[in-house]
Each structure stands twice: as C-alpha cells, then as structure tokens.
C-alpha cells in the first residue's frame, strides 16, 4: 500500500464506468461500442477498467500504443484489442504474438503487415494519421495491395463531434462513405464519444467511446448523460490564521483582504493539479465550495476557509467528485476534461469500487 494513502485518494467507480458503457450502447443501436483505454484508461487505470468492462460483455478495445496493449491484454482474453497509432517498424511480431489488431494508416504499413487482420484508418479531415486522399486513390485502383489482409473495420475520426452544428461533421460523414465505397466491403467505425450523440446517421458497425466512459460530458452545454466516475479527495495538512495584508504562496500573488484562515492541502501540480488553477480553482467541503487562493506549488495548495470553521487539520477536501466534475475543473483551468483526468499523478493512491 502506498505511503501516501492518507494524503490524497483517487477513488474510481468501476460500476459507473460500466453503466456509462451501457448508456452509450443504448445510444448506438447500429453496432457495439468499443472502450478506448489509452493513456492508462484516461488516467484512471486501464487494467481495472478493462477488466470491469470485459466482465460486463465489452469485446472491443482500443489503445494508443503497443505498450498499452501489452499492459492490458491478459485481463481481456479473446477481445479485439486494437492499437490506434499505426504500425511502427519492428513491432510486427509483437502484434502477432499477442493477438493484437493494428490500425493501419499508410500504404507502407499495409505492405509491412504480415498478419491476416487489421483495421484501415482513413483520414477524412483530422490530418494526423490515416490514409490520405492520394494513398486512398492508389489503394482503390489496386486492391491487390491488400494481399490476404482481412479488413476488420474501416475507421475514421471525427474532428468536431462535440459541436453538433459544425458542418465538418456532415462533411466527414460523406467523405467516410465515399472512402468505404473505394475499398473492399468491410464494416465501418466512425463515432467517438460525442459522435454517438450526433444521431443515427453517424451510427456504424462499431463506435469508439473514450472520454464519456470516464464521466466527461460528451454533449457540452447540455446535461451530462454520463455518471461521474472519479472522486479526488485531499487531506488538509495545516490551518493557520494570517492577518489582513499577509501574502500567501509563491510570488505573493494573493494578499489577504481581511484576517483569514488558510488551509494547506497535500496536493500540487506534481499530482496533476494544474498550476493554471491558481486563483481560479476551488475545493468542496461538505458540499460547499471553498476558494483556492495563492499559487499552486509542486506539493501544496492553499484555500481560504475563513467562513468554513469545520475545516481542520486532517479533514478531507473534494477536488473532484459529485460537486466538482472533471469538466468543472477543466473550465476553471482553461483546458478540457481529458487533460484533467490524464494529468492525475502517480503519487495519488487509487481505490477501485465495483459496487
């Protein structure tokens, strides 16, 4: 057990992850919903998340890199486990040995892959990975380049699916349909978390859900249909009184406007609590918000608890949970919920609940 179990705890509700997966399946009747486990399950633990979803019936999984696939393969036996970032030269044998599915995004990758099954990635607007228009045209002219390859899915990735009125969504859907028509018949995979909520015309044979599984709102600006998954609690190390005019934290960026009680909590940017939250973030105590004051440092953060006499050394403050979602924290720090979760540091003691 970590020596920091009394300092900061990240509690992950695996039952909520499973419930979110089932909600996403209900919104994607055209085919199953795969679970994206990249970045260690969006910072929450890829292995326990994968095991819980596999036990619930999920049979399609995606990661970003080969190392991530190797870390979870044993807990999801028999499931499709695909690697999104392409086939790096020299890794082919590892894919074969561990029954992994490469996502091929170039003619070179297709030529190098000696396996029987793969996913083809077509770029329809992201301009990162995937067959571009030139490569797609070459492949359309000569299906023989595929050799004995079985295309398990043709996939693409939506650029702006969280913005339902963005014309890019329709354009990509049309480009994806045109690309599939140029290739041998194969199932398709288009919708990500937000794409699942764009409507049935964005349904395909396989959706790929990431952020929504972990409680991030896939439909910003509307009520979140997902259950909260992560609760981050941090211990108060000290409470002290400072006079009006006293500064708190590095560079004296905050000056007490009155006699003030300051609680120092055992959490800092080394734990993934972004420095950009300085002077903008908050914690909750018994459901009541408490202002973050001063500059977040590597290991410590300070809060104004003048109006919260119940806060004493040893108390727990909620930094994320029922009263502060990842999206709330992201809004305060000027980022998105993805970065908030994937930044959570290794020093946090992780606890998993399945019921």
Q: Does 42 qualify as catalytic in the annotation? A: no
Q: Helix 46-56 to helix 14-26 angle, to the nearest 10 degrees? A: 50
| Residues paired with 118 in a beta bridge | 151
β-pairing, 254-255 vs 247-248, is antiparallel
Inter-residue contact 340 to 39 (CB < 8 Å): no
Q: In what order do the strands lie in the sheet with 150-155?
A: 188-189, 150-155, 117-121, 101-104, 80-83, 60-63, 33-36, 207-209
Burial class (CB in 10 A: 0-12, 13-18, 19+), 340: buried
Active site residue 38: yes
Q: Rounded to an integer, what is the distance from CA 333 to the centroid of its chain?
A: 17
Token pair belonging to 334:
């000027």
Among the options 42, 95, 214, 250, which is catalytic? 250
Residue with tokens 């108060």: 236
By annotation, the residues acting in catalysis are 38, 250
């Amino acid at each position: 057990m970590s020596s920091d179990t009394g300092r900061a705890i990240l509690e992950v509700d695996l039952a909520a992850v499973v419930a979110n997966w089932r909600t996403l399946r209900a919104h994607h009747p055209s085919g199953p919903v795969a679970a994206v486990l990249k970045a260690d399950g969006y910072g929450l633990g890829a292995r326990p998340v994968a095991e819980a979803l596999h036990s619930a019936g999920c049979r399609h999984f995606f990661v970003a890199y080969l190392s991530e696939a190797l870390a979870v393969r044993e807990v999801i036996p028999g499931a499709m486990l695909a690697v999104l970032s392409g086939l790096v030269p020299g890794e082919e044998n590892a894919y074969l040995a561990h029954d992994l599915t490469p996502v091929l995004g170039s003619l070179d990758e297709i030529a190098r892959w000696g396996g029987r099954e793969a996913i083809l990635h077509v770029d329809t607007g992201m301009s990162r990975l995937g067959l571009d228009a030139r490569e797609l045209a070459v492949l359309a002219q000569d299906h023989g380049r595929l050799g004995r390859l079985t295309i398990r899915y043709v996939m693409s990735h939506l650029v702006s699916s969280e913005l339902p009125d963005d014309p890019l969504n329709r354009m990509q859907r049309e480009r994806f349909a045109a690309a599939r028509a140029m290739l041998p018949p194969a199932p398709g995979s288009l919708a990500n978390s937000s794409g699942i909520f764009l409507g049935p015309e964005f349904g395909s044979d396989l959706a790929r859900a990431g952020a929504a599984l972990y409680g991030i709102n896939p439909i910003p600006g509307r009520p979140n249909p997902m259950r909260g998954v992560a609760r981050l609690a941090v211990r108060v190390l000290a409470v002290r009184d400072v006079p009006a005019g006293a500064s708190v934290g590095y560079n004296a960026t905050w000056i007490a406007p009155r006699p003030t009680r300051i609680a120092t909590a055992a959490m800092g940017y080394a734990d993934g609590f972004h420095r950009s939250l300085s002077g903008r973030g908050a914690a909750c105590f018994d459901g009541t918000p408490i202002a973050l004051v001063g500059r977040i440092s590597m290991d410590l953060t300070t809060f104004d608890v003048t109006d919260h006499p119940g806060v004493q050394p040893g108390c727990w403050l909620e930094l994320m949970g029922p009263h502060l979602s990842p999206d709330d924290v992201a809004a305060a720090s000027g980022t998105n919920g993805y970065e908030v979760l994937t930044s959570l540091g290794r020093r946090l003691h992780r606890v998993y609940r399945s019921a």
